[in-house]
Amino acid sequence: MSRKPLAALAAVTLGLAAGQATADEIRVGVVAPFSGPFALYGTQFRQAIEAWQATHGTRAGDHEISFVYKDSGGVNPDLARSLSQELVIRDRVDVLAGYVFTPNALSVAQLATQSETPVVIFNAATSAINAESPFFLRTSYTLPQVSAPLADWAYAQGIRSVVTTVADYGPGIDAETAFSEAFTARGGAVTDTIRMPLSTTDFAPFLQSVRATGPEAVFVFLPGGPPTFAYAKAYAENGLKEAGITFLGTAETEESNLQALGDGALGLHTAYHYSAAHDSDANRAFLAAVEGLGDDAAPVNWASVGAWDGADLIYRMVEAAGADGRAAIEAALGAEWESPRGPVRMDPESRTLVQNVYIREVTRNPQTGLLENAETGIIATVGDLGWKD
């Protein structure tokens, strides 16, 4: 890709970098957790990409596309930036992708802008991220995009009082703000706001406090993985359902952990942009492609679909623009296609997908006996409601 001089990296001569790609090869560097408590998401990224290439081939236009993977572990912006820099300088990648966590994504904004390297974010969901570089694109969602519709739905169900419980970092505050503003604008009351340290593993004290407050519902956002599983378990074990406190979440009933939650998950309500139970030919083809990888295939969820659509977008960019970073971004803006989640369009302003948001309820599938996020409602074509240029 054409690149501006990297002032901070002036000591490195890009033209002499080892492993430089040939003219018809496009390399994509994927930065994600492949070790530690969030390693499943790196695995899901990789498997979705492998499934995409197994289905669609490895060429886009005249270009062969290959992927290089780097392990960022958990929330570690310094490591994410270092690995991304290494990918651009040493591995000569033409596109960066992945990034589960907001701080990790934000850490590469300057690098992306200076090197004119498109960055396709598969997850990190704070609205403000894309304002930090014109080379950021996002194939996941943002917290306001799902939290505000959930607030509207909750009010429509007759819920009038809510306690919000969120992880105390950017995405959590995004979710809290969007939900609270939408809910109070309707006439509801947020009776307490609880921000939980990102390192929290025991959520019982927070949920006991919610139960003592006695709202009609509790709203939650936590980073996916062990935290969401622990919170959902604690909700069931601390008697909030029996107390009539409705669970309102986003990814807390993700498919990776859903069966392990057991019957305590039944009836939990979430608003999200994807469910593995989505009824469409595109989703069935996606599920079959991942399952076709063999017995090691991980359950698909938001991480999987973010990477699958990320690969789709990268192929479109490469076919249209080859190795020209600026032209690749231009080709992405306004692109639309049928995703496993439903119809999507890359918003030219926010550079985040415009997509459906589904109201979901955990039910047990009568055919398989497995728990699933059944879609019970739809809010169509929602953009990033938190976008501020």
pLDDT at 253: 95
pLDDT at 184: 98
Assess whether pLDDT exceeds 90 at residue 14: no
What's the predicted TM-score (pTM) here? 0.92
From the list 237, 238, 274, the residue with the least C-alpha distance to 253 is 274
| In this structure, CATH architecture of domain 143-272+357-382 | 3-Layer(aba) Sandwich (3.40)
Which CATH class, in words, describes the domain spanning 7-141+280-351?
alpha beta
pLDDT at 23: 52
- Please give the share of the chain, as a percent, with pLDDT higher than 70: 94
From residue 191, alpha-carbon distances to 183, 223, 268 in Å are: 11, 23, 21
pLDDT at 389: 66
pLDDT at 224: 84
Residue 261 and residue 83: Cα distance in Å, rounded? 35
DSSP states along 242-285: TTT-EEEESSTT-HHHHHHHGGGGTT-EEEES--TT--SHHHHH
Render pLDDT for 264-296 as a digit per residue (tens, 0 to 9). Answer: 999 999 999 999 999 999 999 999 999 999 989
DSSP at 22: P
Assess whether pLDDT exceeds 70 at residue 372: yes
Instruction: Report the range of poorest mean pLDDT among 20-34, 40-54, 259-273, 298-312.
Output: 20-34
pLDDT at 119: 98
Average pLDDT over residues 323-347: 98
Assess whether pLDDT exceeds 80 at residue 48: yes
**Cβ–Cβ < 8 Å for 374, 360:** yes
Fold match flag (7-141+280-351 vs 143-272+357-382)? yes
For the chain, the structural domain boundaries read 7-141+280-351, 143-272+357-382
From the list 261, 262, 329, the residue with the least C-alpha distance to 117 is 329
Residue 47 and residue 291: Cα distance in Å, rounded? 10
